[in-house]
């Protein structure tokens, strides 16, 4: 076998054998196949797609590139989102589920494309570590019922390399590659029960509901074929989820929800997803579990789980009480309505790309992020604004000139101009 033949086959939509896919994944993982050849194959997949059988083989090959996590815990659950703008649901759902007596073990990734990564968000909490060993991870789960670790070299090393390469080569938005990346990690972390939140819309990798349903179906099939209780739900990402986009900004908003201070769409989505996960874990019907999830927040139990997780992972738990301890941006710029208007839509991908410009994500393999960078959304779709009302505020510490970012952000807003009725004379 050789990489050129494999690239040409996928370029011509000729299915690869299981052995060819295993050879490709193993060769890239151990350094025998260089980045430029793997990039060419990923682009061929992005442009032409691969069959469901190839996707299944790719998932298992990536899973088997490292060890399978064996946690000394009787029953664990996990939840994964396909990514969106302002999606901080894991930081809310994990504490809720653990507060309801179900252990949630989660291995997460960093930002990919225009979407933020749970690990980048968590690491904006002063002192918090995500580079945990399996032993440390298991110990925290025993004590607290909830922990999040970053992808280690022991688990899915193939995905870790491919994930970073996709982000740097414009091959993120591919159903087979998204599916293999997510499911290889989920199967390697070996949770008994798995809920998949598949996003669609302008802020998601899947732009249409039909694409999202296709991805959801193949991920469910792979999860169940591996013997897991697995369910995928499809949710809307046509506007940012919540008000804040960016790492420390999203942690702040997640803590506000856990503190019982914020409701709205973010709260509703988290209660819905938590109830689905609890129901899968046998805690009752979905409606009964929704009541359990809401009570976990209102009682303060979920916030205490989050506080303990932060402490056990080396962070400062006082951020749960004093949000000013989170990193704060040095510079801010508010974009205001230039006329009376009604907001009719957002291009969420452009909102995410604007956050990247401000420093909230990476544009290269080894790029650094600004934990304080991001966007505070100050209106929603359907809202009417008067001239001078705020639309959004751009935040950064590494960027002080907001002119280019402001133009891009404003172009991501769709609106109808209101005209003032004339007075009768």
Of 210, 208, 206, 202, the closest CA to residue 182 belongs to: 206
Residue 425's pLDDT band (cuts 50, 70, 90): very low
Residue 163's pLDDT band (cuts 50, 70, 90): confident
Residue 166's pLDDT band (cuts 50, 70, 90): very high
CATH number of 328-417: 3.90.1170.30
Q: What is the mean pLDDT of residues 247-257?
A: 97
Q: Which residues are catalytic?
A: 80, 159, 166, 181, 185
pLDDT reading at 27 higher than 90:
yes
Question: What's the confidence (pLDDT) of residue 424?
Answer: 45
Residue 28's pLDDT band (cuts 50, 70, 90): very high
Q: What is the mean pLDDT of residues 217-223?
A: 91
End-to-end CA distance of the chain: 85
**d(Cα 278, Cα 286) in Å, to the nearest integer?**
8
- Reading across the β-sheet that carries 341-346, which strands appear in turn? 384-385, 341-346, 413-417
pLDDT reading at 30 higher than 70:
yes
Q: Which residues contact 196 (CB under 8 A, 6 or more apart)?
A: 79, 80, 81, 82, 182, 216, 219, 220, 223, 230, 231, 232, 233
Identify the residue with better confidence: 247 or 117.
247
* pLDDT tens readout for residues 267-314: 999 999 999 999 999 999 999 999 999 999 999 999 999 999 999 999
Q: Which residues of 365-381 are buried (b: 16+ CB within 10 A; e: fewer)?
A: eeeebbbbbbbbbbbee
Of 388, 387, 360, the closest CA to residue 375 belongs to: 360
For the whole model, what pTM was predicted?
A: 0.86
Identify the residue with better confidence: 385 or 153.
385
pLDDT reading at 248 higher than 50:
yes
Question: Tokens 């993120």, residue?
Answer: 172
Least confident of 109-118, 132-141, 299-308: 109-118
- Beta-carbon-side half-sphere exposure of residue 417 (alpha carbons within 13 Å): 4
Residue 155's pLDDT band (cuts 50, 70, 90): confident
Q: Which residues contact 93 (CB under 8 A, 6 or more apart)?
A: 79, 104, 270, 273, 274, 277
Least confident of 147-161, 227-241, 327-341, 385-399: 147-161
Q: Choose the CATH number for 76-156+188-323 among 3.30.1330.10, 3.40.50.300, 3.30.70.2200, 3.40.1030.10.
A: 3.40.1030.10
* pLDDT tens readout for residues 359-369: 998 766 566 88
**d(Cα 144, Cα 174) in Å, to the nearest integer?**
36
Residue 60's pLDDT band (cuts 50, 70, 90): very high
Cite the DSSP H helix spans in 146-208: 157-169, 175-189
Please tell me the total number of residues recorded for the chain in this structure: 425
**d(Cα 423, Cα 154) in Å, to the nearest integer?**
72
Average pLDDT over the chain, rounded to whole? 92
Please state whether beta strands 146-150 and 103-108 pair in parallel, antiparallel, or not at all (unpaired): parallel
Of 166, 162, 186, the closest CA to residue 174 belongs to: 166
pLDDT reading at 404 higher than 90:
yes
Q: How do the domains of the chain map onto residue ranges?
A: 3-50, 76-156+188-323, 328-417
- Surface-to-core class of residue 342, CB atoms within 10 Å of its CB (0-12 exposed, 13-18 middle, 19+ buried): middle
């Amino acid at each position: 076998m050789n990489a050129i033949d494999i690239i040409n086959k996928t370029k011509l939509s000729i299915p690869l054998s299981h052995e060819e896919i295993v050879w490709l994944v193993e060769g890239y993982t151990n350094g025998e196949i260089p980045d430029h050849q793997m990039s060419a194959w990923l682009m061929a997949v992005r442009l032409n797609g691969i069959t469901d059988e190839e996707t299944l083989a790719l998932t298992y090959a990536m899973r088997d590139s490292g060890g399978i996590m064996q946690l000394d815990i009787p029953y664990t659950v996990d939840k994964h989102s396909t990514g969106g703008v302002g999606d901080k649901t894991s930081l809310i759902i994990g504490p809720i589920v653990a507060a309801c007596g179900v252990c949630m073990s989660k291995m997460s990734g960093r930002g990919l494309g225009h979407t933020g990564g749970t690990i980048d968000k968590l690491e904006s909490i002063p002192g918090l570590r995500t580079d945990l060993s399996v032993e440390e991870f298991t110990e925290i789960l025993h004590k607290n019922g909830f922990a999040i670790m970053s992808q280690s070299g022991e688990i899915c090393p193939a995905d870790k390399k491919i994930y970073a390469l996709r982000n740097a080569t414009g091959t993120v938005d591919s159903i087979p590659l998204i599916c293999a990346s997510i499911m290889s990690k989920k199967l390697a972390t070996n949770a008994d029960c798995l809920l998949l939140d598949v996003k669609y819309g302008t802020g998601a990798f899947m732009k249409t509901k039909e694409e999202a349903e296709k991805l959801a179906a193949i991920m469910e099939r792979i999860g169940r074929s591996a013997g897991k209780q697995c369910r995928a739900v499809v949710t809307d990402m046509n506007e940012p989820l919540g008000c804040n986009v960016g790492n420390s900004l999203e942690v702040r908003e997640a803590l506000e929800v856990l503190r019982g201070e914020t409701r709205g769409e973010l709260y509703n989505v988290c209660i819905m997803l938590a109830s689905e996960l609890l129901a899968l874990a046998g805690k009752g019907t979905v409606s009964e579990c929704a009541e359990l999830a809401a009570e976990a927040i209102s009682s303060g139990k979920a916030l205490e789980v989050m506080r303990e997780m932060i402490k056990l992972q080396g962070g400062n738990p006082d951020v749960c009480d004093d949000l000013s301890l989170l990193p704060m941006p040095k510079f801010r710029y508010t974009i205001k309505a230039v006329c009376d208007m009604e907001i009719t839509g957002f291009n969420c991908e452009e909102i995410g790309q604007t956050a990247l410009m401000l420093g909230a994500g990476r544009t290269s393999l080894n790029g650094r992020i600004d934990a304080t960078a991001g966007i505070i959304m100050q209106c929603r779709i359907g809202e009417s604004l008067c001239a001078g009302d705020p639309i959004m505020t751009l935040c950064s510490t590494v960027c002080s000139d907001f002119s280019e970012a402001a133009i891009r952000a404003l172009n991501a807003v769709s609106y109808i101009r209101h005209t003032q009725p004339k007075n009768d004379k």
